[in-house]
Amino acid sequence: MINLIIETNESFIEMVKQPPNSLWFIIMIAIGVSLFSSTLNKVLVDHKQINRQQKVIQRHNEKKKELFDVAEKNPKKYAKQYRKWLRRDASIQKMQRSMSMSRLKPTCITFLPMLIFFYVVRGIYTGESGVQFPVGKLVMNPMQEFPSFITGILRSEWYSAIRNLYIDEGWIGFTGYYFLCSISLSTMIQKLLGISRPTGQAGGAGGMGGMFDTKAQMDLPDPKDLM
């Protein structure tokens, strides 16, 4: 019985190693992992509360940008509003830390099991030399489109008496193909479960827009320096 199980596992592994079986198997893994992590995220994280907090943070950051204009036009008015904003900022920072800790709950639970799981699965698609077997071919050639540090991660090679496959022709290994599948599937599953972040909101400084907003990143001037 044990030998039968071992032989079945070995034949299954050999089957999912080869394209196109490898493509579908990795897609199923990406769906399973995304569904599991997204469901855990939905259960452990209060997204309604986080969305409310994000709106409060966004308004706070908008007020900060307004204060820069007030500082230039009316330093006395700015001094009064600055003290009020500063008191509010302390509670906002506390709220941001709370949001970050809340979002980390699923990661704390899944990090180690996922690390072990991917170590095992990646081993299926990795040869004795440490180079991954090709599982899929991209429309664009990674060697021509991506920087070297990315092609190093995507690197895959397969040598045989019939034909050799390698990344120079656009073939990528498990890591690269899973990454591409995971990005698209995770976004779709999160939207279906209603846990995707609203556009322009992402905790920190009012979302992705805040990352490129100079005023949102700058410190407000001290009123004493304006007098």
- Residue whose entry in the numeric block shows the structure tokens 């073939």: 171
Percentage of the chain surpassing pLDDT 90?
14
Q: What is the mean pLDDT of residues 29-35?
A: 93
Give residue-wise pLDDT tens across range 140-195. 665 556 666 565 555 555 544 444 555 556 677 788 888 888 988 888 898 888 88
Alpha helices in the chain (DSSP H): 2-17, 21-44, 47-73, 75-124, 142-145, 148-154, 174-193, 208-211, 214-217, 223-226
Give residue-wise pLDDT tens across range 38-56. 999 999 999 889 889 999 9
Q: What is the mean pLDDT of residues 97-110?
A: 90
Task: Report the pLDDT value the prediction gives residue 159, as an integer from 0 to 100.
Answer: 47
Range with lowest mean pLDDT among 14-18, 190-194, 196-200, 221-225 = 196-200
Helix (H) or strand (E) holding 155: none
Q: What is the mean pLDDT of residues 65-77?
A: 85
- Mean residue pLDDT of the chain comes to 77
Task: Report the pLDDT value the prediction gives residue 112, as an integer from 0 to 100.
Answer: 92
- DSSP annotation of 156 reads B
Extents of the domains making up the chain:
2-226
Q: What is the mean pLDDT of residues 12-41?
A: 88
In angstroms, the Cα distances linking 205 to 66, 88, 134 are 15, 15, 41
Give residue-wise pLDDT tens across range 194-219. 886 654 444 444 444 455 566 666 77
Task: Report the pLDDT value the prediction gives residue 32, as an integer from 0 to 100.
Answer: 94
Residue 82 scores a pLDDT above 80: yes
Nearest residue to 110 (alpha-carbon basis) of 51, 34, 185: 34
Q: Does 84 or 208 have the greater pLDDT score?
A: 84
